[in-house]
Amino acid sequence: MATGIETEIKLTLHSENIPEKLRAITGPAVTRVEQLNRYFRSSSPGETMVRIREESGGLVLTVKGPTTTTEGGVFSRTESNEAIPPEWLFQLQAGEIPEGLMSLEAMAGVEGPLLYLGSLRNTRWLFQHQGLNLEVDRTEFPDGDRVDWEVEVETESPVEAAPILDAILTIAGIEATPSRQSKFQ
């Protein structure tokens, strides 16, 4: 299990052909993966987010604490990640919360029962350029009418990384604005 403080720049992208535009600047994406994110809320009040992500045949539990956000789109929060048994997917697909989930180390401090809130589909491209890992997400919302694009750059130095990211997007001709909310919100 990995636990720590996650700090990332999150920008909403407002352009067409985003992966192609980035590829012209950075070269091919290092990876492209399909993700299904299932979101849950704890029964206790607060800003704790519980997500189970299905990706590349595996399942990862993520628990994120309250978020602080700057005007520039820098998000910071505690985050715990833990791989969970792939066979739990059968329970998730049936709309059930897997037995044993609440006893996992990443769930320490989370009060049950959990309330299922819904799911989002992502296609994520990872581009690398000038020392940054640009995670570009195309997110499909359940209503089928909304698709959002976002770039996330995890960094310990957002003040140094932000101008590099802005320059990459400007050269690529991609319009961006600071994100105000997470996908969960």
Confidence of residue 47 (pLDDT cuts 50, 70, 90): confident
What does pTM read for this prediction? 0.89
- Number of other residues whose CB lies within 10 A of the CB of residue 77: 18
Distance (Å, whole) CA 119 – CA 116: 9
Contacts of 61 (CB under 8 A, 6+ apart): 50, 51, 52, 81, 82, 83, 84, 101, 104, 106, 107
User: Hey, what are 19's tokens?
Assistant: 């992966």
- Summarize pLDDT for 107-128 with one digit per residue, the tens: 998 988 898 888 999 999 999 9
| Predicted local distance difference test score (pLDDT) of residue 184 | 57
CB of 137 closer than 8 Å to CB of 124: yes
DSSP letter at 110 equals P
> What average pLDDT does range 7-16 have in this prediction?
95
Confidence of residue 185 (pLDDT cuts 50, 70, 90): low
